[in-house]
Structure 1
Amino acid sequence: MKNPIKIEPLKLLLALGITSAASMQSAVLASDYDQGLKLYQAKNYAAALPLLEKAANAKTNAWQAQYLLGNTCLALGKMDEAKAAYQRCLATCNDKSIQDHAKGGIATVDAYKQAQAQAQSLRRTTSTTGTSGTSGTGTSGTRSSSSASAAESEEDEPTEKKVDKNAQIRNELLAKARQEANKIRREAEEQIKHEKENSNEVFKYSDGSRGLDISDEREAQIRKEAEERAKRVMYEAEQRAKGYRSN
């Protein structure tokens, strides 16, 4: 168990008399961000969205707001907005772990759009196949058994190919999602390691020793958020895969 030795920045600022208009404006922006962060952590993404948008728009170089805005938009299915927020985050953030997470978010958006394009292409192909010309009847109004068998084979072949293609697309979608989910979990562990190595917060351990570290709660939060993202990636992939049924 780690007990933090806290330094309260707000009290320090007040003690130094830093009460300029700029600092007050920053406090207002921080308020929007903090409220948005709380709602985001509570998974109330719809309520968090306008607050994070306000914080991100007011200070475009605040990568924290851009990053959370990207995650929130992704959770709400606002893919274009999510990608734009992640890109703004990458333009201003120097933290490698956050950069990797933002890149992962962009990859998720791109994979989603690619799957949509594949689905539309498949629907167009299926529609074209289904509306292609059918053979007419002969003068006698009947066809020989050999001709009927040949026609049935021609009709069955596209269906079999469609089934095989659907199964292939499903497997590819799910395999890619599993890779992305595992990558998210690995990145979470790398983020924990990175934050531990760069922490400036002093903790007192149960054996009485002290050292720079991050809290147990912070570690749990990073892993929890990563697991939620991983589950969301898998859920979205499973939903997309349902559009490629074999029957």
Structure 2
Amino acid sequence: MSEKEKEKENSNPAVSSPLMETIQQLGQTNIPQAPDSNVHVLTIIGQIEGHIQLPPQNKTTKYEHLLPQIIAIEQNPKIEGLILLLNTVGGDVEAGLALAEMIASLSKPTVSIVLGGGHSIGLPVALSADYSFIVPTATITIHPIRLTGLVIGVPQTFEYLDKMQERVLNFIVMHSEVGEHKLKDLMFAKGNLTRDIGTNVVGKDAVEYGLINEVGGVKEAMEKITELIQSEKKVEEK
């Protein structure tokens, strides 16, 4: 390759680079963050993609991309806290629950913000943080587990669904202030969703039900993560 060709390639912004590949694959880049930032931001946008690959036109968050990031956050001594941003319609139940369990098991302080929505399995992911916020206009849809495609109509299928439903219910109850009875009322309510069962909870109602800790956005979340980090440091000093 000639020198002119090399210069042309280097000056072309469309040429692939590690940074561009990161943006295309994960939708993330560290450019906006301060070099000395001790808080990592993890986004869960669109539909949580699990074992089945979704059509290319779907906006997805692939759980296999997030798993190594969560491990890296735990191992990196420079990262002292995690902010979790959610605007998701839900998705693969087992993948979402796996993400929620991993985030909940982090040793570092975590704070989540529900933005446009934290629907379906997105709710356990939001609750996996130590403290959760929801913006006033955001919504959370609570409904029973659904399956698409061919379902074998045998007792074992319904038993499997029931056990999976119980796993999701237990996680929500353990990581929030909502009682199991109230949660089931919201989940199986009729008339709230057109031709379906469940409840759509908006902003402050999610706080009143005990699902989310507080109404707030970026400012409140940053103040809270700073407070949790400082508390963690005081405990370690003792």
What TM-score do the two structures reach when normalised by structure 1? Answer: 0.29
If each structure's strand is expressed as a fraction of its own residues, which one has the higher value? 2
Greater Rg by CA: 1
If each structure's helix is expressed as a fraction of its own residues, which one has the higher value? 1
